[in-house]
Structure 1
Amino acid sequence: MNLLELQDISKIYGNVKALQNIDLTVRQGEWLAIMGPSGSGKTTMMNIIGCMDKPSNGAVILDGTNISKESAKSLTGIRRDKIGLIFQQFHLISYLTALENVMVAQYYHSMPDEKEALQALERVGLGDRARHLPSQLSGGEQQRVCIARALINYPMLILADEPTGNLDEANEGIVLDIFKQLHKDGSTIVVVTHDPEVAEEAQRTVVLEHGRIARIVENEK
């Protein structure tokens, strides 16, 4: 079953064709990596999949709904209810603890539940760091808070933008192990990355060049 379909997607900014005639499907439970050089369209594709932008042409089908036709307000709700976003820059609120940062995501979705938020932190190995501020956490720990925040509302799609881009080798390994477990548990994951080692962990790698799909690689698993 396909969870996500991009049908003839193009995105044009003035005279710049950021994406051109993209056709792509993501199966439910699949781990997909998106790679490409700077300017290839990775970020644009991520923004469209993540309901943060709309295509100039084409259709985006998420869970059977053509989200490319939805209003900005509706897209906010879809992003909140169906997508877990993990950013390279973390985007944690500096004056809130790790636990409170996770609970903020609950607040915008339904009702904050401290016990459930703590369980999400324990899932990424941070139960003992729940009361710490972001400034008291390492980069790897902050990224794991972001993962817990993304998981707290049980999204149908996890979308990660360079999730290991700011991490050293040891923390990259920890984060990748979490992604492996999420995939094993049945999560659908799309990771935008420049790191071949990260991409190799996915089932398929989509390589973008000049706004087009240059090739799709089936990774040996």
Structure 2
Amino acid sequence: MKKNILELKDVSMVYGTVHALRDINLAVREGEWLAIMGPSGSGKTTMMNVIGCMDKPSFGTVVLDGQDLTVTSSRDLTEIRRDKIGLIFQQFHLISYLTALENVMMAQYYHSMVDEKEALKALERVGLGQRAKHLPNQLSGGEQQRVCIARALINYPKLILADEPTGNLDGENEEIVMDIFRQLHEEGSSIVMVTHSLEVAAHAERHIVLEHGHIVKYSESREARVAAAEFEITE
């Protein structure tokens, strides 16, 4: 039985009088694909920031790959985010004066050692080997997003965290990007993805819906149901 790569236990986030998250309990198993949905202001971004080691919750516990993030220093959180999380953003966040290849290599630079051949292989994996020397403004939106995916994968993260990865793409490029995510999932990657799109969410094994900081809908995967049943039997 696969272990949990991510666990949120009674997690709440409070900003003054605003409860952005309220008593969130959630587990993601290794190799699972979870979609997080909800209207604007529902707490999706806050949850992504908590999972992505950018914020600590006001209350509760967050465990990533067996490590309790809530008792970890800010410096160590930065290292965990660098070493264990592959971040993919809606706005791409590519460095404008670096080529696609150099943008991928920047992630290597902050992690360990730069390896141009490995970075090129990452671009080839997302179908951009021949665009490696192009600057971001010479790439389409879909191509820029694929550079972001290559950059997120280059350090072999434990968890891929994607925030509206198809939000700025047309239908054709959305399908190309989703094909990459489907392949990653088939290869065993653990994925947590925020999306407004029902079509995109349908690719995930299961999804949750947030409203006013609460999980109001929880769609369980078959694997999780079987695991829960096995646990009850052994108990």
Same fold (TM over 0.5): yes
Indicate the SS of the match to 1:68.
helix
In structure 1, the gaps of 5 or more residues are none
1:218: Cα distance to partner? Answer: 3.8
Indicate the SS of the match to 2:162.
strand
After TM superposition, the structure 1 = structure 2 runs for residues 86-105 of structure 1, keeping only pairs within 5 Å, are 86-105=88-107
What's the CA shift string for 1:154-213, capped at 9, x where partnerless? 001000000000000000000000000000000000000000001010001110011000
| 2:208 aligned with 1:206 | yes
Indicate the SS of the match to 1:96.
coil
After TM superposition, the structure 1 = structure 2 runs for residues 114-133 of structure 1, keeping only pairs within 5 Å, are 114-133=116-135
Among 190, 194, 197, the alignment partner of 1:195 is 197
In the other structure, the counterpart of 2:40 is 38
Indicate the SS of the match to 2:219.
strand
In structure 2, the gaps of 5 or more residues are 223-235
- Taking the aligned partners of 2:163 and 2:43, their CA distance within structure 1 comes to 13
Indicate the SS of the match to 1:154.
coil
In the other structure, the counterpart of 2:186 is 184
Larger deviation, residues 210-219 vs 11-20: 210-219
In the other structure, the counterpart of 2:19 is 17
Greater C-alpha radius of gyration: 2
In the other structure, the counterpart of 2:31 is 29
What's the TM-score, normalizing by structure 1?
0.98
In the other structure, the counterpart of 1:3 is 5
- Taking the aligned partners of 1:48 and 1:173, their CA distance within structure 2 comes to 28
Q: Which runs of 4+ in 1 moved over 6 A?
A: none
Amino acid at match of 2:99: T
Indicate the SS of the match to 2:210.
strand
In the other structure, the counterpart of 2:52 is 50
After TM superposition, the structure 1 = structure 2 runs for residues 124-203 of structure 1, keeping only pairs within 5 Å, are 124-203=126-205
Give identity over the alignment, percent: 74
What's the TM-score, normalizing by structure 2?
0.93
Aligned residues: 221
What's the C-alpha RMSD, in Å, of the aligned pairs? 1.1
1:219: Cα distance to partner? Answer: 6.5
